[in-house]
Amino acid sequence: VSNAFVDTTISDEAAPGPEDTVTVTMTGPANVVEGDTTTEYTVTLSDPAPVGSIVTLAYSYTTASGDDITETTQAIIGADGVTATFTIDTVDDVYAEGDEVFRVSVSGIVDSDSNPIFEALDVSNAFVDTTISDETDPGPEDTVTVTMTGPANVVEGDTTTDYTVTLSDPAPVGSIVTLA
């Protein structure tokens, strides 16, 4: 028998249905101390992806800012095909800020060429809010040095030239320097 075969092309439907949707969830730390690395965040897929697939991450800020962390932008799907883990470094700054909150979330699952792996993703539960707390025992790196220069003498009744106050780290705009 010759020519006893047929080539058939399978095409995806125009609108993916529930059977085409991969659910993505994320767990991770609720808290981290400023200057520390978080414990692991874990992204879990309901269906396997090829090993080495890339989980793309996005950030939003409630009371923190992008200056408070070093954003990890990708995590790699491991040998099990369904999980990826990552950590986030926080920045130890000199400011007494109180608690700061950021959100990390999954924005996609792609291959090395940034092509989507799945037809549809449900990422509605693929986020974690983490609170950064100031350390309880500030170290020398948390100390701001203040210097002041100005005239050594002034004649009674005259106005001095300007005094200059210099900080080793910038203060927020509008900060008030109290003189004694």
Q: Is residue 164 included in any domain, yes or no?
A: no
Domain count, the chain: 1
**Is 128 part of a structural domain of the chain?**
yes
Interval 90-115: pLDDT, tens: 999 888 888 999 999 999 999 999 99
Q: Which domain holds residue 47?
A: 18-133
CB-based contact 42:83 (threshold 8 Å): yes
Residue 6 has pLDDT above 80, yes or no: yes
CATH of the domain at 54: 2.60.40.2030
pTM: 0.80
Neighbours of 83 (CB within 10 A): 16
What is the maximum span of the chain, computed from C-alpha positions, in angstroms? 117
